[in-house]
Amino acid sequence: MNANRSNLAPRVAILAVSCLVGLCPTTASAQDSMQAPNEKSAGVHDSAGVEINAGTIGRLIKAAKPGDIVHVPAGVYREHIRIDKPLSLIAEGRVVIDGMSSGDIVEIAAPNVTLRGFVVRDTGIDLDKENAAIRVLADHTVIENNTLEDILFGIDLKQAPDAVVRGNFIGGKDLDIARRGDGLRLWRSDRVLIENNTIHDGRDAILWYSQNVTVRNNTSRRCRYGFHLMYSDDVVMENNELTHNSVGIYLMYSKVVTIRGNRLLANRGPSGYGIGLKEADQFSISDNLIAGNRAGIYLDGSPFTKLKPGDISRNTIACNDVGLTFLPSVKGNVIAANNFVDNIEQVCVSGRGELTGNDFAADERGNFWTDYAGYDANADGIGDFAHESVTLFENLLDREPKLRILLFSPAQQAIEFVGRAIPAIRPEPKFFDPSPLTRPVPVATNAGAAPSRLSLAICGLGLASIASLVYVSSRAFAHTTRRKGVVA
């Protein structure tokens, strides 16, 4: 899953395409649908050699004074623009800025710029030059309600603190994952608010060295990493819905991160995680729904220090191939009041080992496990026996993941039975929940609409009617043969 390394062939192809595009900038601007006369004198070109601010919107920007509100009338504008003074650029109706498959499209180089309501489409595909639909190089920008289509990079904030990225719809190009760009990228941009955006078919939405960022109510699907934090501290991520990505949220080398109330569903593939943590510290993961992923939460070297225990609480971790995956050295997490529901393997210690350095209960309340086999005689909601995970087959799986191909087969139960029956080969418990809950922690899950009950009932009746048809016809035959006196 090393998507950063594209091999040589596509690179050459991209280079060739960008050269071709670069060769014909004048043709491109001549196609301006607004039929504006070209200003031959304009000397600013972008990295792909395309003339900037040569079209209608460009002239509007040139004509505007700092602080103006510029309204752009509806239409398709084939041009590349650079906003170099504080302006509000507002689309009136459907305003399309078409990049004609070359370079970046909108560059914001001055502080206090607002860009609202545009459709920005068709950037170049040069990964080396990071062709972006909207590149922001200054602070206090508001990028709101734009639709980005067919783009390599979507919104790229470079040292652009105090920005607001809100309500944008970002759709990547239909490229192989290794050739895609990031739907959203922050580079050294602190105090940014990212909310209500939808990102699909991109590479990552990534925060590099950006502190105090808030990410909420965003949707990401079919990307590589839904949200990826690199060295970004004091980040709050809440109520995002991240589905069908390779990884929902990946925290790397980041600290003081709160991940709350997100829905992380069906993030799969070879390294599919709902939430991945690599050397993250002082994190809190709570009230999330983490379901149908290859691994619900993956922990590698997290928490990184002993400053604060890793807090994993009130999550519903359900129907994942593996609920929690730990690398053997992970310690210092408190995992309490979560629901572990029907994960094929609830907790995995990758490459075997024990999780003695992690607590599976806080304040004498543990987690709810669907595979808990004990009972609760005094009905206080806490099981009378500790929950230990002692399963021989899972231990084999942890040692040799290839054996997963035999999952769901009766041989698996046979192995488990033998493991329970014969103490000599019973494995050491992987972890220990001293006070398992006997009822699930109430959470608002609602993992999408359930399939229709009626159609399932009809399907059941249909199947059963096949059975009755077979039975009735055999009776009818018996009757006929008796009447005819045939013994056969």
Partner 1 sequence: MSAAAIPSCQIIEAHAPTLISNILTLAWRELRDALRARSFLLYSLAFLALGLGVSYVSAAGTGSLGLSGFGRTTAGLINIVLLVVPLMALTTGASAIASDRERGMLLFLLAQPVSRLEVVLGKFLGLSGALIACITLGLGACSLVLAWQGGATEPRTMLWLAGLSVLLALSMLSVGMLISALARKASVAVGTGVFLWLALVFVTDLGLMAGTLALRLPVKTLFLLTLSNPLQAFKMWALHSIDASIDVLGPAGLYAMDTYHDALPWMFGASMAAWIVLPLVAAALIFRTRSPV
Q: CB-wise, 182 or 398, nearer to partner 1?
A: 398
Distance between CA atoms of residues 272 and 244, nearest Å: 9
Q: CB-wise, 56 or 395, nearer to partner 1?
A: 395
Minimal distance, residue 338 CB to partner 1, in Å:
12
Q: State both tokens at 105.
A: 């499209």
Q: Which residues pair with 170 in a beta bridge?
A: 148, 199
Q: CB-wise, 37 or 451, nearer to partner 1?
A: 451
For residue 418, give the nearest of 437, 395, 435, 398 by alpha carbon: 395
Minimal distance, residue 335 CB to partner 1, in Å:
18
Helix (H, G, I), strand (E, B) or coil at 19: helix
Q: CB-wise, 29 or 267, nearer to partner 1?
A: 267
Q: State both tokens at 57.
A: 């919107």
DSSP, residue by residue, 36-83: PPP-TT---B-TTS-BBS-SHHHHHHHHPPTT-EEEE-SEEE--BEEE
Residue with tokens 């060769």: 23
Minimal distance, residue 44 CB to partner 1, in Å:
47
HEC profile of 411-439: HHHHHHHHHHHCHHHCCCCCCEECCCECC
DSSP letter at 6? -
Helix (H, G, I), strand (E, B) or coil at 239: coil
Minimal distance, residue 167 CB to partner 1, in Å:
28
Minimal distance, residue 458 CB to partner 1, in Å:
7
Minimal distance, residue 449 CB to partner 1, in Å:
8
Q: State both tokens at 473.
A: 């016809």
Q: CB-wise, 10 or 440, nearer to partner 1?
A: 440
Q: Which residues of 210-237 are buried (b: 16+ CB within 10 A; e: fewer)?
A: bbbbbbbbbbbbbbbbbbbbbebbbbeb
Radius of gyration of the chain (CA): 29
Minimal distance, residue 60 CB to partner 1, in Å:
49
Q: CB-wise, 71 or 399, nearer to partner 1?
A: 399
Minimal distance, residue 389 CB to partner 1, in Å:
17
Distance between CA atoms of residues 122 and 172, nearest Å: 9
Helix (H, G, I), strand (E, B) or coil at 477: helix
In sign, the C-alpha dihedral spanning 146, 147, 152, 154 is positive
Minimal distance, residue 224 CB to partner 1, in Å:
16
Q: CB-wise, 21 or 295, nearer to partner 1?
A: 295
**H or E segment to which residue 394 belongs:** helix 392-399
Distance between CA atoms of residues 426 and 416, nearest Å: 9
Minimal distance, residue 483 CB to partner 1, in Å:
9
Q: CB-wise, 13 or 464, nearer to partner 1?
A: 464
Q: CB-wise, 26 or 370, nearer to partner 1?
A: 370
Q: CB-wise, 423 or 442, nearer to partner 1?
A: 442
Distance between CA atoms of residues 310 and 280, nearest Å: 9
